[in-house]
Amino acid sequence: MNDFFERKKKELNIDLNDVQKKAVLQTEGPLLLLACPGSGKTTTMIMRIGYLIEEKKVNSKRIKAITFSRASARDMTERFTRFFPESARVDFSTIHSLAFTIARTYLEKSGTTYELIEGSGTGRQSVNKSFLLKGLYKEVLKEECTDDELSSLSTFISSIKNRLIPLGKWEELKGPVDKAGRIARRYEKYKTRTSGHLLLDFDDMLTIAEQALREDEQLSEEYRNRYDYLLTDESQDTSLVQHKIVEHLVAHHGNLCVVADDDQSIYTWRGAEPDYLLDFKRVYPDAQVLMMERNYRSSKEIVEMSSKFIKRNKKRYPKDMHTQNGKMEPINIKQLNNPKQQLEYVTYELLSEKNLNEIAILFRNNSSSTMFVSELHRRGIPFYMKDADDKFFSHWIVEDILNFMRLSFNTERKDIFAKIIMKMNAFISRSMLTTFENNDIQGNVFSTFIRTVELKDSQIKKLTDYKLAYDRIPDMRPAQVIKLVRNELGYEAALKSRAEKFGYRFDSLLSILDTLEGIASQLKTMVEFANRLKELEQAVQNAKFNAPENAVTLSTFHSAKGLEFRRVFMIDLLKGVIPSEEDEGDEAMLEEARRLFYVGITRAKNRLELLSYGLDEGKPKEDSRFLNEVRGLLLKPGEAKKEQKPVKVTKASIELNPNGIQDSGELEVGTAVKHRVFGQGEIIRHDGDEIHIQFGKIEKRLDLETVISLRLLEKVAI
């Protein structure tokens, strides 16, 4: 036993602590290994598998390791090969991959054919899940389904399947859209409409696999006898149906190692069952429970605060995360004046950093990232998006704003007018619009609408005012146009009405408009604005699939789980964002939101910055209750809580290059320059307030003012 640990210490320089060693040695029977953030769980799991093979002489084919994602499976496979290069390969895979193997065997055995309607697949899909749900949504609700509604509906259906809720109860469930349960029932009915043939989504693989193991004793025996040892990783994110599959597979021997952290369970909305871990001993009465509480990742300040913070949750195992790491830097809490100053603060701090790949900007909602994408792209700061979300650019609000602008180029365009007139808060009905569209009269759309449709005096006045407003638009900058659309053309009021009717969060819709205004504020024309949106959409895609090596990471709190960074900025820590209003109204959801915040703060190794702002569009904003909890935890005994004053952003923290170019006259086309991040390049052209520089195969557009004020470039000899 000790020979194994000593040997690995010499070979790999891995020195396990006492709890980690216990986890490696506890091979027989069920084990729940509760691993705090940064506690070395993956290393411990790999060492446990290696111990089974090298010391207990277990055939590697008799060991099954189940991971949360394909990325985790690849990472563990690579790490195992590095730790134990002489050992035969161990089967690391996702639960979905295992379930599909079982489900396929079961269906083939019964002579049932099937077709996958989700994912890329290997052939042409006759039916696509999204297309099918959109059609059923329209069939039931007589409305078109937006991308947001489609996503919510798909998640809802996935959740009820993962929770093993019987089909007969689906219609009783409260869903994210009206009659969601009825749509879900019709969805299932459509998928099974052909006798002997099934249409399957990813979650069907799980439910069919569980059914197969429960009902087909011969098949169940076959898979039970395939493995002698099972390990599951990230089990706090495992759903009930996934837990049941594992239960079936270990029914004979019970040799199961479940690695989890109930404090990092953040996917209940997707069907995860964190309570299963709390009831683990009810399912496995002989289970051992070990707690890996030592954090190797973060500074003493971060670990101590995080440990106290998560203890405010009640439904959890009583763990006491600690570290032997020393103190690094105090946790930095800043309330900026407004979103623009928050953006400027983070941007200036990034400009003073060299190793951007050690830094992350984390946020609750993807909408928070768009302004940062715009600013980082404009200033030439490389970035990587952990979960690139280009849905923003195809959102119906973005399309509405572009249509409002398009109409200003030709106010006789009936087709564009028809797309926006019902969003101008003029109380125009669908029948009125149909009358207008069927009329052949040409001319200014506002004038012809008044002439061809029977209207009230109040409606005529509004449309006359709108016509006058459109006369002013061609001379306006795009940010001014968006303000006019929001206020004078009644779009914001129409949005509020739509939010109330369809259950949207009005604040979320307004944040999209705020973001569009922010992007437009740097631009002079509406054409530039439209082009900028296309450019940013492409930048988001590039940031995911072609990320530069030295790039700052942008990620939601959810997608950041499992990652670590030297420095972390957590932004938009506001009331209504984290926790959301919905979270505040439900104790279980509030605890999950606190776990999500905990995931964010424990990503930081040395430096953690928690950011909020006091005003947005002139309206006061309150800090997140979690931010205030952290403030309270950081107070020394007897120290009174200080009144928080908004912080002014300055550029003083950026160390200027003494050799940096300070005169724009020196930035001539053909000049060879050096950038501290991108290296050596050549100026190839000027474009208004920007310069284009060729760095090797990559062309970068940099903001001229930023380059000069921060001396980001210096001349080099050709």
List all residues 6 or more positions away from 176 whose beta carbon is below 8 Å from its beta carbon.
Answer: 149, 152, 153, 155, 156, 503
**Buried-exposed string 472-483: b where 16+ CB fall within 10 A, e elsewhere:** ebeebbbbebbb
> Any idea which residue has 């200027």 for tokens?
656
Higher-scoring residue by pLDDT: 76, 543? 76
Instruction: List, for residues 5-61, the tens digit of each pLDDT value.
Output: 999 889 889 999 999 999 999 999 999 999 999 999 999 999 999 999 999 999 999
CA distance 460 to 439: 18
pLDDT at 565 over 90: yes
The values of phi and psi at residue 497, to 5°, are -65, -45
pTM for this one? 0.81
What is the spatial distance between Cα 262 and Cα 237, in angstroms, rounded to a whole number? 9
Distances (CA, A) of 45 to 39, 79, 399: 12, 10, 49
- Reduce the DSSP state of residue 113 to 3 states and report it: strand
Mean pLDDT value across residues 676-698: 78
Q: How far apart are CA 291 and CA 127, in angstroms?
A: 47
On the question of pLDDT at 685 being above 90, the answer is no
Measured distance CA(695)–CA(679) in Å, rounded: 7
Encode pLDDT of 612-671 as tens digits.
Answer: 999 887 789 999 999 999 999 998 766 655 555 665 554 444 456 777 887 877 888 888
Please choose, from the candidates 207, 284, 281, 283, the residue with its C-alpha nearest in 3D space to the C-alpha of residue 242: 207
Give the pLDDT of residue 103: 94
* 622 within 8 A of 585, measured Cβ to Cβ: no
Task: Summarize the confidence of residues 518-534 as an average pLDDT.
Answer: 89
Instruction: Assess whether the region 2-97+208-294 and the region 295-382+548-653 belong to the same CATH fold.
Output: yes
* CA separation for the pair 469, 477 (Å, rounded): 14
Q: Is the dihedral of CA 87, 249, 279, 562 positive or negative?
A: positive
Instruction: State both tokens at 285.
Output: 């009465």
Q: Classify residue 103 as exposed, middle or buried by CB count within 10 Å of its CB (0-12, 13-18, 19+).
A: buried
First to last CA, the chain: 62
pLDDT at 65: 94
Q: Where are the beta strands (DSSP E) in 23-86?
A: 31-35, 63-67
pLDDT of residue 642: 58
User: Is pLDDT of 676 > 50?
Assistant: yes
CA angle 643, 339, 687 (to 5 degrees): 145
Angle between helices 491-502 and 506-520 (to 10 degrees): 150
Alpha carbon distance 417, 407 (integer Å): 7
pLDDT band of residue 427 (cuts 50, 70, 90) is confident
Q: Which CATH class is domain 2-97+208-294?
A: alpha beta
* Identity of residue 133: L
pLDDT band at 573 (very low <50, low <70, confident <90, very high): very high
The first and second tokens of residue 456, run together, are 């009230």
Which tokens hold the place of 408?
A: 């200003």
Q: Are strands 91-94 and 565-570 parallel, antiparallel or unpaired?
A: unpaired
Confirm if 656 and 711 have CB atoms less than 8 A apart: yes
Sign of the dihedral through C-alpha 593, 599, 602, 608: negative
Query: pLDDT tens digits, residue range 66-105?
Result: 987 888 889 899 999 999 998 888 989 999 999 999 999 9
Higher pLDDT, 668 or 121: 668
Contact in structure between 334 and 307 (CB atoms under 8 Å): no
Please spell the DSSP secondary structure of 240-268, one letter per residue.
Answer: HHHHHHHHHHTTTT--EEEEE-GGG---G
CATH fold for the domain made of 664-715:
Thrombin, subunit H (2.40.10)
User: Which contacts qualify for 489-497: CB closer than 8 Å, 24 or more apart?
Assistant: 489/404, 489/424, 489/425, 490/424, 490/425, 490/426, 490/462, 491/400, 491/404, 491/423, 491/424, 491/425, 493/425, 494/422, 494/423, 494/424, 494/425, 495/397, 495/423, 497/425
Residues 6+ apart with CB under 8 A from 586: none
For the chain, domain boundaries: 2-97+208-294, 120-195, 295-382+548-653, 394-529, 664-715
Spell out the alpha helix ranges (H) of 311-368: 339-351
Residue keyed to tokens 């994210």: 176
The amino acid at 236: Q
Task: Give the pLDDT confidence score for residue 475 in this predicted structure.
Answer: 87
Instruction: Find all residues with CB under 8 Å of 167, minimum gap 6, and list them.
Output: 185, 188
Choice among 319-323, 465-469, 472-476, 687-691 with the minimum mean pLDDT? 687-691
Q: Is the peptide bond before 30 cis (omega within 30 degrees of 0)?
A: no
Distances, alpha carbon 660 to alpha carbons 93, 522, 672, 702, in Å = 51, 25, 13, 15
Can you give the pLDDT at residue 26?
Answer: 93
- The predicted pLDDT at position 188 comes to 92
User: What mean pLDDT value characterizes the chain?
Assistant: 87
Cα gap 262→275, rounded to integer Å: 8
The helix (H) or strand (E) run that includes residue 276 is helix 275-278
Q: 54: number of CA atoms within 13 Å, CB side?
A: 21
Residues 352, 567 contacting (CB under 8 angstroms): no
pLDDT surpasses 60 at 124: no
The CATH H-level superfamily of 295-382+548-653 is P-loop containing nucleotide triphosphate hydrolases (3.40.50.300)
For residues 505-526, average pLDDT: 84
Q: In this structure, what are the phi and psi dihedrals at residue 711, rounded to the nearest 5 degrees?
A: 50, 55
Say how far apart CA 71 and CA 498 lie, in whole Å. 40
- Tallying the residues shown for the chain, one arrives at 718
CA-derived radius of gyration, the chain? 29
Percentage of the residues of the chain whose pLDDT score is greater than 90? 46
- Residue 125 predicted with pLDDT over 70: no
Q: What pLDDT score does 659 carry?
A: 77
Which fold does the domain 394-529 belong to in CATH?
A: PCRA; domain 4 (1.10.486)
Average of pLDDT values for 501-513?
75
Residue 97: how many other CB atoms lie within 10 Å: 15
Q: Cα separation of 266 and 26, whole Å?
A: 28
pLDDT score, position 652: 41
The answer to whether residue 611 scores a pLDDT higher than 90 is yes
